[in-house]
Chain A
Amino acid sequence: MLDRFTKTALVLMVVITAIFLTGAYIGYIGGHGMEGTDAMVEEHAASTAANVEATSLVPAITDLVGEPLGFTIAGIVAGFIVGYLWTGLFRRREDA
């Protein structure tokens, strides 16, 4: 049987995932590429000046494994850290 904390976390996860999927689907059927605004504004800004171009001094993990897998790995690692510490700090004690 799931405890209250796990149930809440699962419901939140489903809601957040549903929001992402709905947003991505609406963008997809609208024909948009869902490009990031950081890159869009940066490209536009660079085009207003001479000899300015975005580069990267470090190899990006997302270039090696792709953005979906790269961000999934990052999310899982960060999620485990947050989840582990969150339950340790905030779990309601049985004797409380």
Chain B
Amino acid sequence: MQQLLTTFLTGLTLGMVYAAFALALVLIWRSTRIVNFAQAPMAMITTYVALVIVDAGMSYWIGFAAALLSGLVLGAVIERVVIRPVEGKPEINAIILTLGLFVVIHAVAAIIFGSGFRSFPAPFGLRGFEAGGVTIALTGFAVFTICSVAVVMLLLVALFQHTDIGLKMRASAFNQEVSRMLGVKVTRMLTLGWALAAVVGSLSGLLIAGGSLVSPSYMDSVVVYGFVAAVLGGLDSPGGAVVGGLLLGVSLSFVSGYVGSDLVALASLAILIVVLLVRPAGLFSHATARRV
């Protein structure tokens, strides 16, 4: 029973991080039809920003805020400088550019910060709660992880559903030309979309790093799980990305806890293949069959 609960909570925590990363991928996919492979190193480099600030003796929270802010700027700059010139060309161009960015950001990080492992602090305890002599594997940092991702998601829902700028961003994602005709500055919305996605990606990077080791490649496995989560939920659906992330996190945690931790990567691949076979549009994507 205790193991069951522990496994579930570990999966839930990890699932929230995958959900955040998947959400970052979905935000970019649905407005530009690009899978941003550079999302992982972008998150990695912002985590190093936080690490530099914390190592300089400032508080974790200043580092945390600086990392998210640098994510915002980095996302906007990459869209403007790297992606904009190939907009309107076949999507493959942009996708190859993001792969190129992946390599470049890695190399730059290794040059600036070194390629070795460095430990990253956590703002809360990493020990589980004790209740009646039984230790539950829900650490303070896990609670923080779940809450911070939940807050970011609620903020995004509020932005997209209840503000004018959110409506313009959604309209631009669905139909660029009609949006322009209605007076929406579509290019600005795309930049904003990349910036927001990078913030969410950056959050997932900070949460993976918390209380653990970072190196220029520490996010690379997350891009795989985040992508599987996004496909699982449907690349077009932000809600699906969240549910996909949670499902994946919990499933993989059970595979790791009950079958064997060596099989986690294989299991995620198996989930990806099954989803693509059974429901290629993902569990939660809207039916687009009746497009008139």
The answer to whether A and B come from one shared complex is no
Interface residues, chain B, with chain A CB atoms under 8 Å away:
none
